[in-house]
A and B are shown apart, each in its own frame.
Chain A
């Protein structure tokens, strides 16, 4: 029993006409759309930088750029992909879906929501603008370790302020999501009836609030070291360069889970739908997510095993890091148990979700290898690490984002995407992404350090393979844009419950949903919540 968009055409609460709609909007669906477009644009900006990196690494010698520009490319690629593409994409999903999934009319703090988004374009203008400063963009890696980062010029200040703005945006977004989930649920939407996507975002939001201020503090100390003569990280002035790494990774490791927990949530929505079977071990999924979030605060120094910690410190961080494998394993087993004895079909979102499970698990295996401290001394700062975190972030986070887009796009736009093109996009991406990143394991093991613009000739072959995979993966994403535009502009009309096996409140409203949903709290049955 749903109302269609047309029936609401005379509703005086509809969107404002013209471009101002997007500037002043406080509607969670509009803001979700803005976040998603912003993330897509940043994905292509960061992707352009990645193509530059792979072009330079195609063969030994320097052909495309000088080493200083190369370092700017690697640094900015990471900052843009992490803070500009993956995080805003997940916030876009949260904006669109959390109110619809918990039966709320909108986010709890709509004006704050508008501000959270509109800070981002300014933050990234500031950050990307550093390319045009004398001395160029930040070039010390996204981990911005002093003393190296302090050798940069004015870009240090620009980058610090950009990070502050992103942090403010993230924290406000996180507060909004927590308040919405805890206060705005429909009366029958108990905590343990919430879709797993809502659960993972609730936990992610707490991680954001805990982690982002730590980063803000760290970069503020960089700022005063650079411009106001303090010596937080300057050994010559009595400071400690390693302290920065501890503070940075105390933010940085929770950040890793900020980038993956919502992906777990998306995949946990998709697999039950296409297996036509309830999610296996719903409660253990919730507890596993919470455990991962907790452990993420006590593993940070595994990013810095080579800094010369005491033996006891190395052992502690090795054991805690290995422990993360347990709740992560529980998640993977639950997804497979959900598929077991289901009645699966393999529409595009399911393909991406299955690829996520397989490839993220491969990234998890290399993560386990990296946790073993004595062997990590060999892996550390090599391409093995690059392969590892691209498996968890590209075939992990980004694959889940793409899976989610295909899954909810018919709901958002009211049109079905082109299934055949979607499958082409999937197969091209999945093959090329493995050609791109799998050989990087070999390069790292064979001794190629990361963040180098040029390499010894014995690394040529795998680098060429990797670059070819990279170009193919980059090109494949143009197909994604084509599919998106095609779907937004038209196509077969989508039903309200787009997928036969889908459960949850978002499928009870029209496709596309009216501008305002759930002005009266909806009923939530056990069957609708868990299938």
Chain B
């Protein structure tokens, strides 16, 4: 009559599970275990430092747990061990205080030199100011005069409640990726408009918080062309998990071509704001802007989420005075998730989305807001 102990039963269970996992090699496709080595000189140093500390910990673990394991095997009553009476050893106690200190110092030296390199943001070739919003990124290329807004790609957003496996780069794709030239030191200036966010692309080897009222600095120098993906790393509210970053590293020529293309698009936008728009055009564009800028909180059907995000359907703002509505959308409401869209959206987009809000969801105000009205409102603000 042999009854197995729970320990024995459990270990045979684990063996069976392990065999099951090992039997399906295809399942290993995405079983990533470790930090990426990355594509910047710093990221490689950081990776080496990570591995150094990891192996030191493994070595200490083998010694400490090894001694413990030997003790458990040999010094058990079941094998007839007699308890010794010692409870003190000055030599041992000094040794296991001094040896760890020596190990810590050997870790601290490379850590310190690496940190000094990482914090040196001088002599940058170009500067990009990154502003974080709930829930998108704005990139301003200071020298080249390019501004890019970057938010979760619609393909990913549509898949959230459907089948994420059907989408390429689910949650790590944006509508407008940014481009950094390779072999150039890029300095990033990070700040935020509403709450604290953090900018992190693992392959670049570093992350930094974007904090309202502060400008933080970090730098990167990408050695290999390619597309590198990351996301916001500081809890920033409801859509914190839906705020990806995509950086394309390209040659200097490709970077120049991209800058020229972006500038052309910006000029086209400015021209669009000059002419008068039909209501149907505004409604069509307004719906698109609404889906990317407003719907995460106020929901696609305009009903909001009770208690957290107000409804737009039949709301006092969207069916009341136009100037109050414009002011709220452009300036936001302090202390809430309603941010100031005046700086993020163009005149055309603002005109379109306000027109849409005042005529969709049964809000039949009939108002048509032209881009010129928006630019007038902007002038009024700066003038006042």
Contacts and interface: CB of A to CB of B under 8 A. Distances in A.
Interface of A: 60-62, 66-68, 71, 133-136, 139-141, 145, 147-148, 150-151, 153, 226, 235-236, 239-242, 275-282, 284, 306-308, 311, 314-315, 318-319, 322-323, 325-326, 329-330, 332-333, 336-346, 354, 357-358, 361-362, 365, 368-369, 372-375, 377-378, 380-382, 420, 423-424, 426-428, 431, 442, 445-447, 449-462, 501, 530
Contact of A380 (B67, B233, B235): B233
Contacts of A314: 115, 119
B6 interface: yes
B33 to A, nearest CB: 5
A140 B335 contact: no
A375 B31 contact: no
B196 A241 contact: yes
Given A377-B206, A456-B171, A344 B75 contact: yes
5 contacts: A311-B115, A318-B115, A329-B97, A426-B6, A456-B171
Contact of A339 (B72, B93, B96, B209): B72
Contacts of A461: 27, 30-31
A354 B159 CA distance: 46
Nearest to A314: B115
Contacts of A455: 171, 241
Interface string B325-338: 00000000011110
Given A306-B198, A340-B71, A458 B32 contact: yes
B236 to A, nearest CB: 6
Given A236-B213, A427-B6, A280 B335 contact: no
Contacts of A358: 65, 68
Contact of B170 (A60, A325, A380, A453): A60
Most A CB within 10 A of own CB, among B67, B81, B159, B211 = B211
A49 to B, nearest CB: 16
A348 to B, nearest CB: 10
A344 B213 contact: no
A49 B378 CA distance: 47
A336 B214 contact: no
Contacts of B335: 147, 150-151, 226
Contacts of A280: 86-89
Most B CB within 10 A of own CB, among A67, A308, A375, A445 = A375
B10 interface: yes
B337 A151 contact: yes
B296 to A, nearest CB: 9
Interface stretch (B160-168, B175-183, B355-363): B160-168
A427 B198 CA distance: 40
Contacts of A279: 87
Contacts of B238: 66-68, 71, 139
B77 A345 contact: yes
Contact of A458 (B30, B87, B239): B30
B83 interface: yes
Contacts of B306: 134
B211 A241 contact: yes
Given A226-B335, A369-B53, A336 B71 contact: yes
Contact of B82 (A239, A338, A343): A343
A382 B89 CA distance: 41
A427 B7 contact: yes
Interface of B: 5-7, 9-10, 13-14, 27, 30-36, 45-46, 49-50, 53-54, 57, 60-61, 64-65, 67-68, 71-72, 75-78, 81-89, 92-93, 96-97, 100-101, 104, 107-108, 111-112, 114-116, 118-119, 159-165, 169-172, 190, 194-196, 198, 200, 202, 205-209, 211-214, 216-217, 230-242, 305-308, 334-337
Contacts of B36: 446-447
Main secondary structure of the interface of A (DSSP, over half): helix
Nearest to A62: B160
Contacts of B211: 235, 241-242, 307-308
A443 to B, nearest CB: 8
A332 B115 contact: no
A208 to B, nearest CB: 27
A282 B93 CA distance: 11
B30 A454 contact: no
Contacts of B196: 145, 147-148, 241
Contacts of B89: 280-281, 337
B87 A241 contact: no
Contacts of B240: 67, 71, 451-452
B14 A60 contact: no
Contact of B46 (A67, A277, A377, A382): A377
A296 B339 CA distance: 38
B118 A372 contact: no
A339 B75 contact: yes
Contact of A307 (B14, B209, B217): B209
Contacts of A375: 46, 49-50, 53, 111
A315 B233 CA distance: 23
Given A322-B107, A427-B10, A455-B171, A442 B67 contact: no
A306 B159 CA distance: 32
A318 B337 CA distance: 35
Contacts of B13: 431
Given A147-B194, A377-B207, A449-B200, A343 B61 contact: no
B35 A378 contact: yes
Nearest to B8: A427
Given A333-B96, A336-B64, A373-B115, 5 more contacts: A134-B306, A140-B235, A242-B211, A374-B118, A460-B30
Given A61-B164, A381-B233, A461-B30, A361 B61 contact: yes
A459 B165 CA distance: 12
B235 A451 contact: yes
A324 to B, nearest CB: 10
A452 B305 CA distance: 20
B10 A336 contact: no
Q: Which 9 A-B pairs have the closest CB atoms?
A: A235-B213, A134-B307, A452-B241, A446-B32, A135-B307, A308-B216, A365-B57, A278-B87, A341-B84
Nearest to A245: B196
Contacts of A462: 31-32
Contacts of A134: 306-308
A342 to B, nearest CB: 5
A343 B234 contact: no
B111 A457 contact: no
Most A CB within 10 A of own CB, among B72, B81, B83 = B83
Contacts of A61: 159-164
Contact of B81 (A344, A450, A501): A344
A461 B208 CA distance: 28
A277 B87 contact: yes
